[in-house]
Chain A
Amino acid sequence: MYRINELGLTLEIEDDLLCSLIDIGIKHYPNEFGGFLIGNYSETQTHLIITNTILPNKFKGTPYLFERDTIGIDDKLKQFYAEEPKKYYLGEWHTHPNNLPIPSSTDINAINSIANHPEVSIKNPLMLIIGYDKPKVELGFYVQFKNKLYRYE
């Protein structure tokens, strides 16, 4: 389980999903790649579980940039929402080939833009960065909370 001690918020991700995200990222190496994070919140809204991902149909990836479009993901989002318990769009993940999972200024702009976007209902979007810093894979889970980016440990 990942935790932000300062905020008392926690997160978990299913192992199979995490392994699958790491593998998908490796397939696109040395370019960046990513997708949408799906899951749900606990009743107390202090804990969230990432259960699925939606991969973009349209994207552009280079070793230093990943750009995705939402084209064609609407139906999948609705299907997840129809499940019991309901699953929501929680945030986004992307890779950092040959680098640490530390947000770049582009990443910080993206998470701000998501949090403030009128069509986004969640106040606290997540960002997972998978860093492939050979020979290790390192994960950085972040959440935007009150205009600040916090890292889970």
Chain B
Amino acid sequence: MDKSLHLDSVIKTHQITKEEQLLNKHKDKNKEVKEALEQKYESNIYSPFNSGSYAKNTAMNTKFDFDMVCPFKRNAFGSNGTLKQMYEDVFDFLYEKYKDDANVRKQKVSIGIEFFADEDGDIVKIDVVPGRELNQDQYKDDENLNLYVYYKYGNFDQGSERIKTNVQAQIKNIKDRATKEKDSIRKVIRLLKVWKNTKYNNPAKSFFLELITIKAFDNKDVSGNLWGKLETVLQYIRDEVTGESFTLKDPGNGSNDLIDTLTTTERQTLSDDMKNMLERIEDNDENIKTYFPENSKFLEEEESDNKYENKGNGFYSNPPKNERFG
């Protein structure tokens, strides 16, 4: 089996444009939520913008990632207002507005709005990330924001008042890579997201996988066909992520280290996952399908002459007397 051919099909069948209807529903809801926030907070809010994978063009159709950053003015909740107040106020507003149409819940640094399935069974999910500029009117100049950490997030403690970040710089970080390299990076990121989706409750955030992929491209000779590139990135994660001195700087704020979003145990698990994956694929190429499955919804049917066959005497068989499985 040609592993790169399979990986190309994985990307092709996960392309977001394949799900045009659902994508349009997300765009419509996104617009509606944005306008509701602007109407509610008027001059206390800068224009909300998308920061998730859709903005970075690394989205997949099995899980849309619409993150909307809401940049608030420093004094939006009073000159002594806290980040907690900002977070709670936005939550209360969204909860009241959407409680009959969606599950609205508090997440690590965002508020998740998961709309109930519509008549087509489609579910739209938007994560709203409230952030506050560092000083009054400074956001226009530096685009820096402080976020509120609602519950324990790797090594960031619950209630910790701030993760300072610059989301625009994060987006730019991926958008700005040289075109040729950017396509390879995006493909590898997409594949890692497909893998992440096969794992139950994987603690590695998509943004973490994006940054570590970029770091692998910066530090290793990532070349060859698509499998060769992916393999190099997997090896890099396996070898480096547990290192004591390993850092993953947030391009939005050099003093944020994204490695702190994972605990030591989670880092070890991630490294072990990479090791197992590489070993199993080395054992048998077919195992790549377990870790990087195609999206069967969009597989193109292929005609073939292959058949289930017998050895010439019909299909009736007696199984071998003793057989051992492991």
Q: Taking beta carbons and an 8 Å cutoff, which residues of A are in contact with B?
A: 3, 5-9, 32, 34, 36, 41, 44-46, 48, 64-70, 73-74, 77, 81, 86, 88-89, 92, 94, 100-108, 110, 113-114, 117, 119-124, 135-136, 140, 142-143, 145, 148-151, 153
Contact = CB atoms under 8 A, between A and B. Distances in A.
Nearest to A117: B320
A3 B306 contact: no
B284 A103 contact: yes
Interface string B283-326: 11011011001101001001111111111011111111111111
B178 interface: no
A145 B306 contact: yes
> Max chain B CB contacts within 10 Å: which of A81, A94, A103?
A103
> Max chain B CB contacts within 10 Å: which of A34, A81, A104, A151?
A151
A107 B239 CA distance: 29
Given A65-B325, A102-B287, A74 B308 contact: no
A69 B322 contact: yes
Interface string B162-199: 00000000000000000000000000000000000000
B249 interface: no
11 contacts: A46-B306, A65-B325, A68-B322, A74-B318, A88-B315, A104-B325, A104-B326, A120-B320, A121-B314, A121-B316, A151-B287
A151 B296 CA distance: 14
Given A120-B311, A140-B290, A153-B289, 4 more contacts: A66-B326, A81-B316, A86-B315, A149-B284
A7 B319 contact: no
Contact of B325 (A5, A34, A88): A34
B315 A110 contact: no
Given A3-B296, A65-B325, A150-B286, A77 B306 contact: no
A119 B320 CA distance: 7
A70 B326 contact: no
A142 B290 CA distance: 12
A88 B317 contact: yes
B322 A107 contact: no
A66 B319 contact: no
B280 interface: yes
B302 A5 contact: yes
Given A70-B321, A119-B317, A122-B315, A46 B308 contact: yes
Contacts of A7: 304, 306
A3 B315 contact: no
Contact of B323 (A48, A68, A124): A68
